Structure 1
């Protein structure tokens, strides 16, 4: 399984038990409508995967979901889940708006568009023409004309049988 998000916190590697078992936790915040903070545990040699990461970076974490049962000394049974990471990828982001603005300023020689001029985004270079509107663009149709009462005017008979 995998999950994407922004790194919120990276914990130091800790040693658990007498056998020297190593674990390291990472918290990422998902970038959904309702963000969640998810803690992901890396163990043994996988702890080193977090060494070169920084808070704020966007990542994709590959993980396995593990569950276990535990019985307390009082006999109460509890269940726990652990999200165990095994691979992490840095998601490269570029500031498209910044690059677009720099290109437009360089090509026009303006620090800002002239007053009263609003720059529109270009969907295709000027030398290319599009036979159809780009997908996702609204297509307009001529509407029907209505009178003051909201009724369509009566159609004149043009003598055609249909």
Structure 2
């Protein structure tokens, strides 16, 4: 299974139990009408997957859902679920709108963007990126002509 969201919290690695079990938690906030804060646990060697991540990055996390039963000393039965992450993909999002505002003057040796240029990612007033299909360009900045290569897709 997988889930995508923005990193909200990255916890430090903890060692629990007498056997030296290591775990590290990450909280992401999902996108959508009703955003959810989801905690995902990484265990043992997978704790290192969080080392180079930063709060605010958008990631896709592959995980397994695990459940267990626990019986208290009084005989009460409780059930727990754990979302256990095992792979993280960094979703590359570039806020082109902010970058173009930051560089109102083109660096020396570069031309200004043409009037009416629409960057590939626009940011809504709520701060959420809206994505457009990317397009490949040649080294002259021109889109290549569409050719039928005979492939069905």
Q: 1:1-162 residue pairs with structure 2 within 5 A?
A: 1-98=1-98, 106-107=112-113
- Distance apart, 1:97 and its partner CA: 3.5
5+ residue gaps, structure 1: 110-118, 122-162
- Distance apart, 1:46 and its partner CA: 0.2
Corresponding pairs, count: 112
- Distance apart, 1:96 and its partner CA: 3.9
5+ residue gaps, structure 2: 119-153
CA RMSD across the alignment: 2.5
Partner in structure 2 of residue 129 of structure 1? none
- Distance apart, 1:95 and its partner CA: 2.3
Q: TM-score, normalised by structure 1?
A: 0.62
Using the alignment, how far apart are the partners of 1:50 and 1:108 within structure 2? Answer: 40
Moved over 6 A (4+): 99-103
More strand by share: 2
Query: What whole-Å deviation, never above 9, does each CA across 1:109-148 have from its counterpart, x for those lacking one?
Result: 8xxxxxxxxx596xxxxxxxxxxxxxxxxxxxxxxxxxxx
